[in-house]
Structure 1
Amino acid sequence: MSVLSGIRVVEFEAIGPGPFGAMLLADMGADVVRIDRPVAPGDLGPKMEGPRINVVGRGRRSVTLDLKKREAREAALALIERADVLIEGFRPGTMERLGLGPDAALARNPKLVYGRMTGWGQTGPMADRAGHDLNYIALSGVLSGIGAAPDAKPTVPLNVVGDYGGGGMLLAVGVLAALVNVKNGGAGQVVDAAMTEGAAQLGAIFWGLLASGNWREERASNMLDGGAPWYDSYRTSDGGYMSVGPVEGRFYAELLEKLGLADAALPSQHDRKGWPAIRAALEAAFAKRTRDEWSQAFEGSDACVAPVLSFSEAPGHPHNRVRGSFVEVDGVMQPAPAPRFSATPSAVPRREPARGEHGAAALRDWGFDAEAIDRLRLQGLGFQGAA
């Protein structure tokens, strides 16, 4: 048994944050059935060279429906009737036009948690506009603080701030909170998760720092944005990098000791005017050894130093190996389910299903008998496997 065993989720095919939220629920044991289009859309998400391996699609089963057809929409409602959660990531109004919006879904299933994932939110003057992660975090204010120098343009980060941290993870938190409300006797409801708002929440600390006068809005001029020399990464002799982050004075002292700079005549840690001199000293010190040599030198240290690992290197690090932080699924290395549960641990996930794969088994598990499955098939629901 996993922590969400017994929870049924209907997910409508999408890209990015919605599927990530569904992945988190599936990782924790929810039974997620994804409604896919009969044929893969030709213009959904970034173009890929060769086959697409979608780790975010793991852990669920698939049925196919052409939602442009009335009969198929009725089949979707039959699934929604038996679900605890619905997840969709279309533009606002799309599900309503299909006859699958919150009013229709909650009329059929009053206990349903209806999760909606968008960039701008369901309302507001920009709600109907297209966008991607970079646009959403730009509007949130967070992108303005990411960059290499005060006069440099904002740096394009990986799409973890908007799509995944501020999007799919926010959606999952909202869905779980609404589920608790239902389990406590409350009604079903809509969860409106917007990446702009999720990204803003991830940056909550900076609004506090700004209000207290402890944050400058010039990029790379603060303690946590690369402005401070003791919160940055440094190139090693072999071209690798070490991350350095000893914010506290005692940890900073240990950093200087490990680097052989304890007796150097350096400015004090928080003397902004002295930061260039400290940075130059750290750059020169780290350039003397390889990344692996520095990793060994800081082994067991509280100096807040760690090697910058590539995606392919991270699973092999001893700490990650001991914890089992990564798993291999059908030959694809990927992050293991998290967080950890002591009494109801998450299982190793299944790979992403092909369109319609295991759909018949999913329908049986959801309580559809052979007659009902045949009726759904006539309404356009497609799946692999005998009913």
Structure 2
Amino acid sequence: MNPCHQGGPLAGLRIVEFAGIGPGPFAAMLLADMGAELVRLDRPGGSDPYSKTIVSRGRPTVTVDLKDDDDRAGTLALLDRADALIEGFRPGVMERLGLGPEIVLARNPRLVYGRMTGWGQEGPLARSAGHDITYMAVTGALAAIGPAEHPVPPLNLVGDYGGGSLYLVAGILAALLSVGRTGRGQVVDAAICDGAASLMAMFSELASQGRWSDRREANLLDGGAPWYRTYACRDGRHIAIGPLEPQFYALFRRLTGLDSDPDFDRRDDPVMWPTLRRKLETLFAERTRDEWCRLLEGTDACVAPVLSLSEAAGHPHLAARETFVTVGGTVQPAPAPRFSGTPSAIRPPPGPLTLIEAIARWSGEGSFRS
């Protein structure tokens, strides 16, 4: 993989990103990796984007004062030439700046107007502050994660990035396909609370069938099942096991010497789960994490080491796939997903750019606007 290869499946796509935090910039990073040409607009005195070389990779930042008439006019001129925009302000902010959808889409009817918020553009909480943990809390996602004693936020992966960034990217790309058919752009209202709720679809289905309990550590995939959880090893590091299917479970038992213990025949009986967990805790404490990996990893027993972020890049599988790459001396995740004909890439760090230069750069027609 060439991490700085030019092109990508979104080559020719022009996107204006209004600087923000969290899910908006991450969505912009994904689109830039896939070849879109982005210009990031930040306020004077805003945070230095070049100190965040991973999430802000692949796109230049232009300083603009959106309360200044000339800068606002220049921003509108840039949006006239864009295919999409990303903004993550509270509802009403872009409208007060004179950059709301009504004005912008009247000038550029083909524009896809991507809005990234926690609560969405409407509803009782729409103008309230919040963060990933609060959006997850009201959707049922947070209540389902963690030990029985209390919920635990899974970093901000499920809300900000899973329910936010990925849904915004999907929405923008879907709206661009619609532009190709209809010639008309539209607003994409990507709310983290909506996306996090959508991510819970499988568990909503299980609950509707009476197969999911509201109690944590009482279900198949939340650490309740003894064969789908993590265990401490002799060296204090952890191993993750997940032999869900019967044939994988049988292999797991055979390789670990548990096939002769009749208690493990009753794996689907929740009454037995505390007993099975205790036995597995004792078993895994007998060897180090790496010793268990030499026995089990790479087999259909579905076992893997729990690696720290600093360890992950050195894992043989991830190293072979170049899942992590080093660019400018910084180790970072490579673009995902992968494309066979138009590979994604991390672009070289862009040089300084002014608003006038950004407008001039986009003076011609792009492939997404033809």
* TM-score category of the 2 structures, normalised to the smaller one: over 0.9
Q: TM-score with structure 1 length normalisation?
A: 0.89
Contact 1:9 1:83 in 2 (8 A): yes
Instruction: Find the counterpart in structure 1 of residue 4 from structure 2.
Output: none
User: Which secondary structure does the structure 2 equivalent of 1:56 belong to?
Assistant: coil
Give 1:288's aligned amino acid.
E
Contact 1:62 1:359 in 2 (8 A): no
CA–CA separation in structure 2 for the residues paired with 1:29 and 1:318: 28
Computed over aligned residues only, the root mean square deviation of the Cα atoms, in angstroms, reads 1.8
Instruction: Find the counterpart in structure 2 of residue 218 from structure 1.
Output: 215
Give 2:255's aligned amino acid.
K
Paired residues, number: 357
CA–CA separation in structure 2 for the residues paired with 1:285 and 1:56: 41
- Establish whether residue 21 from structure 1 lines up as the match of residue 17 from structure 2: no
Instruction: Find the counterpart in structure 2 of residue 240 from structure 1.
Output: 237
CA–CA separation in structure 1 for the residues paired with 2:130 and 2:86: 19
- Establish whether residue 365 from structure 1 lines up as the match of residue 364 from structure 2: no
Counterparts of residues 157-306 of structure 1 (less than 5 Å)? 157-267=154-264, 268-306=266-304
CA–CA separation in structure 2 for the residues paired with 1:349 and 1:111: 27
User: Which secondary structure does the structure 1 equivalent of 2:313 belong to?
Assistant: helix
CA–CA separation in structure 2 for the residues paired with 1:266 and 1:358: 69
Deviation at 1:117, TM superposition (A): 0.1
Contact 1:327 1:348 in 2 (8 A): no
Contact 1:329 1:349 in 2 (8 A): no
Instruction: Find the counterpart in structure 2 of residue 61 from structure 1.
Output: 60
Deviations 1:164-209 (A, max 9, x none): 0100111000000000111223310000000001011111100000
Counterparts of residues 287-326 of structure 1 (less than 5 Å)? 287-326=285-324
Counterparts of residues 55-204 of structure 1 (less than 5 Å)? 55-149=54-148, 152-204=149-201
Contact 2:234 2:284 in 1 (8 A): yes
Q: 1:359 to 1:307 in 2, by over 3 A?
A: farther
Deviation at 1:362, TM superposition (A): 4.2
Instruction: Find the counterpart in structure 1 of residue 40 from structure 2.
Output: 34
Deviations 1:273-297 (A, max 9, x none): 1111111111111111111111111
Give 1:337's aligned amino acid.
P
Deviation at 1:4, TM superposition (A): 0.3
Counterparts of residues 325-344 of structure 1 (less than 5 Å)? 325-344=323-342
Give 1:126's aligned amino acid.
L
Deviation at 1:52, TM superposition (A): 4.6
Deviation at 1:25, TM superposition (A): 0.6
CA–CA separation in structure 1 for the residues paired with 2:109 and 2:253: 61
Deviation at 1:54, TM superposition (A): 4.5
Q: 1:289 to 1:117 in 2, by over 3 A?
A: same
Give 2:320's aligned amino acid.
V
CA–CA separation in structure 1 for the residues paired with 2:53 and 2:212: 39
CA–CA separation in structure 1 for the residues paired with 2:187 and 2:158: 23
Give 1:127's aligned amino acid.
A
User: Which secondary structure does the structure 2 equivalent of 1:73 belong to?
Assistant: helix
Instruction: Find the counterpart in structure 1 of residue 346 from structure 2.
Output: 348
Contact 1:61 1:358 in 2 (8 A): no
Contact 1:61 1:359 in 2 (8 A): no
Deviations 1:117-159 (A, max 9, x none): 000000001000000000000111110101211xx12112200
CA–CA separation in structure 1 for the residues paired with 2:344 and 2:355: 22
CA–CA separation in structure 2 for the residues paired with 1:232 and 1:245: 7
User: Which secondary structure does the structure 1 equivalent of 2:276 belong to?
Assistant: helix
Deviation at 1:41, TM superposition (A): 5.5
Contact 2:74 2:355 in 1 (8 A): no
Deviation at 1:40, TM superposition (A): 1.8
Unmatched runs of 5 consecutive residues or more in structure 1: 43-50, 369-387
CA–CA separation in structure 2 for the residues paired with 1:198 and 1:251: 33
Give 2:42's aligned amino acid.
D
CA–CA separation in structure 1 for the residues paired with 2:51 and 2:8: 29
CA–CA separation in structure 2 for the residues paired with 1:294 and 1:177: 45
CA–CA separation in structure 2 for the residues paired with 1:262 and 1:334: 42
CA–CA separation in structure 2 for the residues paired with 1:145 and 1:5: 40
CA–CA separation in structure 1 for the residues paired with 2:325 and 2:62: 26
Give 2:250's aligned amino acid.
A
User: Which secondary structure does the structure 1 equivalent of 2:225 belong to?
Assistant: coil
User: Which secondary structure does the structure 2 equivalent of 1:266 belong to?
Assistant: helix
Unmatched runs of 5 consecutive residues or more in structure 2: 1-6, 365-370
CA–CA separation in structure 2 for the residues paired with 1:314 and 1:115: 33
User: Which secondary structure does the structure 2 equivalent of 1:257 belong to?
Assistant: helix
Give 1:366's aligned amino acid.
W
Instruction: Extract structure 1 runs of 4+ deviating beyond 6 A.
Output: none
Contact 1:314 1:320 in 2 (8 A): yes
Larger CA deviation: 10-19 vs 267-276: 267-276
CA–CA separation in structure 2 for the residues paired with 1:232 and 1:339: 27
